Amino acid sequence: MNIRRLQLDVDKAVARPDLLDLAEAIDGVPGVEAVNITVTDIDVETMGTEVTVEGDGIDVARLFAAIEKTGAALHSIDEIVAGDRVIDRVPRIR
């Protein structure tokens, strides 16, 4: 399956890894063309982040391993885009 975008909920310790180390580890994964890391919350020991990864043929297993190797923890996969093209999310109107 051609994975093109993943949106992930990733937590890390406040001190290590720093965001640059996490971004570098993700950027080194085959298929990754861009990564965006946004801090969503901080407490005394942990930092919550939203990680968006885009590319063509992202190696998901290596992506998850790279995140965990830095010491960060993958909590959930919040979005997957796969196929020949990217479909942007259209909010449902009720």
Kindly list the domain boundaries of the chain, sorted by start residue. 3-82
Nearest Cα residue to 26 out of 44, 6, 2: 6
Residue with tokens 């968006």: 52
Report whether pLDDT(16) > 90.
Answer: no
Residue 9: half-sphere exposure toward Cβ, Cα within 13 Å: 7
Average pLDDT, the chain: 93
User: What percent of the chain is modeled with pLDDT above 70?
Assistant: 100
Euclidean distance between CA atoms 17 and 87, whole angstroms = 32
Residue 62: half-sphere exposure toward Cβ, Cα within 13 Å: 12
pTM, whole model, 2 decimals? 0.88
The CATH-assigned architecture of domain 3-82 is 2-Layer Sandwich (3.30)
Average pLDDT over residues 18-22: 93
